[in-house]
Amino acid sequence: MNKLLAGIALAFVVPIFGSLYAQDDNQASEQYEPPPPVGMDVDYFAPPKQKLSIGFRVLTGPKVAFSGFGLISSGVNPGFDANGIRHYNDGTIAPDTRTDAASPTGAPLQTTVNADGRSDSWTFSNQSQVDTANNGVDMHTYSATINGNNPGSGRAASGAGFELTFDRDFGWHLGRVQIDLIGGIGTNKISYSRTENVAGMMTTNTDVYNTYNAVIDPVSGDPENDTNGNQFYGGVPNGYTATPPAISPGTGTPGTLPAPGAVAPIPTAPTQTPPYTSPSSGTDTNGNTVNNSTIIGSNPVPGDSTTSQPVPTLVTEKWNIDGAYYTLRAGAQVTVPITDKFSASVSGGPALVYVGTTFSVDQTLTPPTGSPITSIVTDTYNTVLPAYFADADVEYSFTDTTGLYLGAVFQSSTSYNQSIHDPSGNYTNRVDFGNQEGVRGGVSFKF
């Protein structure tokens, strides 16, 4: 009887202890976590705490306001320069290149006893320079002054630039909202240009030069030579018949005239069509190349130089502002997840703007003769300005560590003045950043 009761009791007790043992074993299995692989820190498996964003930032350009006046000088030297050349706005007179045919060594004509004080190397640019009354050419230098300050204003072009942003997660969370600290740097360009015609006053300086045409033999088409063997200029002396004795065709032998000292030089207005550069050549009746240059006096006609009273004119002003600015930002960012892939964030804080610009004004006078005359004045300036910013972005995460972001930006800063003080102009420009808006976008990496 006792054995029967003991067997029944054992049958009930054994299943109970087995069940308890099984529950303890399952709990131990659920709580067990395998250790990290050997050589790896536990933090390797923690979520990324840093994020680096690389992308573009486009901002509206700053406002600009400018004013000033200038002086356009001729920019040339009507006296002899270091190379013995006289420069005008519509011509040049260079040293003579002729050689003396009477010299056995071919010495430069102007260094011998046969020197005539003229040059075969010169230019002029406009038919209106031909001065028939004075048998020569008028050479001019022009200058102008700009009337008034001519104020203007505008806005620089929107500048696309590069940005780099770093943010750090310190574990500050309010529910699903995450608060990070951020810092960044960006760069954008500044570009502004404006061209307009403004009122000015132009002054003209005129020098008169006698010119002398080569005497061409009507039979051979060759230039005549004097008794020294040098080409003859200045007209045919009284009593001389231009037709020389008969010559054999094709020899190109010119006729013979008295020495230039035997007759007074006779200046004549140039017959060439400008723009003209001497020495020049042509072809005679026998097909030979001959020198048909017109020569010019090496110095202006005494007493014929004049300076006009200033007359109204238009001057073209082109304002240019070129440069770049760098923005250093620091602040906080609040991020809210929208879905597993999308999140939205806003950020803001103080900033510093380091800006450098080159401010220049091109002043151009278009004179009656010659090429336009341009005088450029310029100044380079840089400074640091206080600022603040605010950004709002939406980000899409491709993976746990890589995403794309796109958003709107706002930035506000102050202004600065830039001035040009130059003998050719005094100008002032104000660059006002004020409130700027734009967009940003790029790629982000978490690590």
Give the highest mean pLDDT range of 17-21, 250-254, 257-261, 337-341: 337-341
Backbone angles phi, psi at 202, to 5 degrees: -110, 135
Question: CA-to-CA distance for 115 and 212, rounded, in angstroms?
Answer: 15
The share of the chain scoring above pLDDT 70, in percent, equals 82
Residue-wise pLDDT for 91-149, tens only, equals 999 999 999 988 989 899 999 988 889 999 999 999 999 999 999 999 999 999 999 99
Question: CA-to-CA distance for 173 and 177, rounded, in angstroms?
Answer: 6
User: What would the two tokens of residue 134 be?
Assistant: 């004075």
Under a CB-based contact definition with an 8 Å cutoff, are residues 122 and 88 in contact? no
3-state secondary structure 238-282: CCCCCCCCCCCCCCCCCCEECCHHHCCCCCCCCCCCCCEEECCEE
Average model confidence (pLDDT) for the chain? 86
Output the pLDDT for position 14: 42
Output the pLDDT for position 31: 54
* Average pLDDT rounded to a whole number, residues 222-250: 62
* Average pLDDT rounded to a whole number, residues 384-413: 96
Output the pLDDT for position 2: 42
Give the pLDDT band of residue 232 (cuts 50, 70, 90): confident
Output the pLDDT for position 216: 76
Residue-wise pLDDT for 247-277, tens only, equals 333 334 456 666 666 666 678 888 888 999 9
- Flag the least confident range among 105-109, 230-234, 416-420: 230-234
Question: CA-to-CA distance for 58 and 55, rounded, in angstroms?
Answer: 10
Q: Which helix (H) or strand (E) holds 160?
A: strand 159-174
Instruction: Tell which residue, 309, 338, 49, 354, has the closest CA to residue 190.
Output: 354
Question: CA-to-CA distance for 50 and 47, rounded, in angstroms?
Answer: 10
Output the pLDDT for position 278: 87
Which neighbouring-strand residues pair with 174?
A: 177
Output the pLDDT for position 171: 86
The three-class DSSP label of residue 162 is: strand
Give the pLDDT band of residue 4 (cuts 50, 70, 90): very low
- 178-197: burial string, b at 16+ Cβ within 10 Å, e else: bebbbebbbebbbebeeeee
Output the pLDDT for position 89: 97
